Chains A and B, each alone.
Chain A
């Protein structure tokens, strides 16, 4: 892998061609999170803060082990802790590392009106370019995972970059590097899918988790971050991971048919008025005196 993987294949709010579209790429990168071997140590949270040079933020105690209720503009990687009582009365302690999912079809990018504020590299990483961000917050509405967060001081939106800077240099993301149990893996999407499916099969066949499976939601074209879950039929248990996420239909309607119809109507209306004026001209009346017959 090299910086060639950081060619851009999708650009938000862009009116021209995209330089990296259809260029050759080796493979799409992917992060695999095996929730069944996560111990909730939060080493990934610390590594993320360290590598990305994020300032220390206050933690919020809510009677669980969770650092804070949700990710912040300067806290991109958060393990969610959930206690789940199974039908047989036994307890499960579910831990899920939450961060940007790096969708193949990103809702944030689709909703963004600012040229080049959100890009997708040819390796699949979705990255925010704060220099081009206008602070409208449409990405927040476009994202089905509640990931982009606004810095209230600068009105710029931030999120996990999948350590695009490290990946471009051939390194793995900081969170992967720090994981002590090996529940985090990084590689090509194909390799990670293979690894994840193998682990899920192992859980089903040997560990009494008949519903174990891989979370790689097709509604957003698949994601650059995939999970192995003990119960893939109920992803909501893991801190509200949506079962079938997709770009909100109103965002699709707005950026699709409405935009098309609106542009045709506006241009058509303008042309119509010009033609009307050329055909009929102004209404006439005599300036002084009585009514014109």
Chain B
């Protein structure tokens, strides 16, 4: 980890820097707005959500701008995290053992690094979805400016945009479930930045070993 000094409770290590946490919450805020307004346009049964958020025309106007903010945050994540998200042999073993992970038998899991294979999947899933959503979203932003002989762009965009969005909804549900409900301590880590040593050892033993090695004065 970086040398940024931050007062941590005893027995805790820094997992997310302030920059990482800010980026996460900018993306999260934008995504939740995009999700609610997007679902309102997706189904007549959820159209009321756009009405609550200031009316559907306002939602239509702001949705693309929120999309740009979301994409910018995702780009920042790419710069910060892409090198750490490369697929490794440990990840291969992790996917083979994923049934133990999903049944809370974490002691049977191969030692994950800073991010386990599932988190890497989440990252790349969101990254490529964001690229697809941006590309199709620009077309849907200004459909009246797409010339008639390029109308195939509109035709593919209306199917790519919801398909990619649905993929992110799946990722988002699992992400929120893991972070808020399943792994105690994970939600606090993306707010305050720290996790307990027990958390690090149990879920990211490879990462814990690494930061102990890097630190000249290992934290107890």
Query: A and B, one complex?
Result: yes
B71-79, B116-124, B158-166: which one contacts chain A? B158-166
Contact A259 B198 (CB under 8 A): no
In this assembly, does B108 line the interface, its C-beta being within 8 Å of a C-beta of chain A?
Answer: no
Known contacts A134-B59, A149-B144, A286-B198; is-contact A259 B182 (Cβ 8 Å): no
Cα separation A249 to B154 with both chains bound (whole Å): 12
A14 touches B44 (CB 8 A): yes
Can you sample 15 A-B contacts with CB below 8 Å?
A114-B47, A114-B56, A140-B143, A141-B158, A250-B156, A254-B162, A266-B166, A273-B181, A283-B182, A283-B184, A283-B203, A285-B202, A285-B203, A288-B197, A288-B198
| 0/1 interface trace, chain B 24-41, chain A, CB 8 Å (1 if under) | 000000000000000011
Complex interface: chain B residues within 8 A of A283 (CB):
104, 106, 182-184, 202-203
**B contact residues around A258 at 8 Å (CB):** 159, 162-163, 166
A138–B143 CB distance below 8 A = yes
Which of chain A's residues 237-255 have a Cβ closer than 8 Å to chain B? 248-251, 253-254
A285 to B109, CA, bound (A): 14
Q: A57 within 8 Å of B by Cβ?
A: no
- Which stretch in A35-43, A90-98, A173-181, A274-282 binds the other chain? A274-282
Does residue B196 face the partner (Cβ distance < 8 Å to A)? yes
Q: Are A282 and B155 in contact (CB under 8 A)?
A: no
Chain B: interface size category:
35 or more
Q: Which of A136, A140, A155, A284 contacts B104 (CB 8 A)?
A: A284
A53 to B95, CA, bound (A): 66
Name the B residues within 8 Å of A137 (CB-CB). 140, 142-144
Contact flags (1/0) for B155-199 with A, using CB distance below 8 Å?
A: 111110011001001100110010001111100000000001111
Q: Which of A113-146 contact B (CB under 8 A)?
A: 113-115, 133-138, 140-141, 146
The smallest C-beta distance from B64 to any residue of chain A, in angstroms, reads 10
Residues of B close to A113: CB separation below 8 A: 40-42, 44, 47
How far in angstroms is the closest Cβ of chain B from A13? 5
Q: Which of B41, B45, B57, B170 has the most CB of A within 10 A?
A: B57
How far apart sit A285 and B44, CA to CA, in the bound complex (Å)?
A: 44
* Chain A min CB distance to B60 (Å): 5
A253 touches which of B159, B173, B185, B201 (Cβ 8 Å): B159
- Please determine whether A259 and B43 come into contact, CB atoms closer than 8 angstroms: yes
Judge whether A146 and B182 touch: CB under 8 Å: no
Q: Which of B151, B158, B162 contacts A262 (CB 8 A)?
A: B162
* A135 and B159 form a contact (CB under 8 A): no
A29 neighbours in B (Cβ, 8 Å): none
Q: Is the interface of B mostly helix, strand, loop or mixed?
A: helix
In whole angstroms, what is the CA distance A136 to B104 when docked? 45
> Which one, B11, B170, B177, contacts A288 given CB within 8 A?
B11
**10 smallest beta-carbon distances between A and B, as pairs:** A137-B143, A15-B44, A150-B144, A250-B159, A134-B56, A285-B202, A141-B154, A113-B41, A134-B60, A250-B155
Q: Is the CB of A250 within 8 A of B158?
A: yes
Contact partners of A285 in chain B: CB under 8 A: 106, 184-185, 196, 198-199, 201-203
Contact of A284 (CB < 8 Å), options: B57, B169, B173, B184: B184
Known A-B contacts: A136-B41, A248-B155. Give 16 more (CB < 8 A): A15-B43, A113-B42, A113-B44, A113-B47, A115-B44, A137-B140, A138-B158, A140-B154, A150-B144, A155-B60, A265-B166, A282-B181, A284-B104, A285-B106, A285-B198, A287-B196
Q: How far, in angstroms, from A133 to B144 measured CA to CA in the complex? A: 15
A270 close to B173 (CB less than 8 A) = yes
Q: Decide if B198 touches A136 in the complex (CB within 8 Å).
A: no
For the complex, give the distance between the alpha carbons of A13 and B42 in Å.
9
- Residue pair B201, A291 in contact (C-beta under 8 Å): yes
How far, in angstroms, from A253 to B40 measured CA to CA in the complex?
19
A251–B158 CB distance below 8 A? yes
Complex-state Cα separation, A282 to B176, whole angstroms: 13
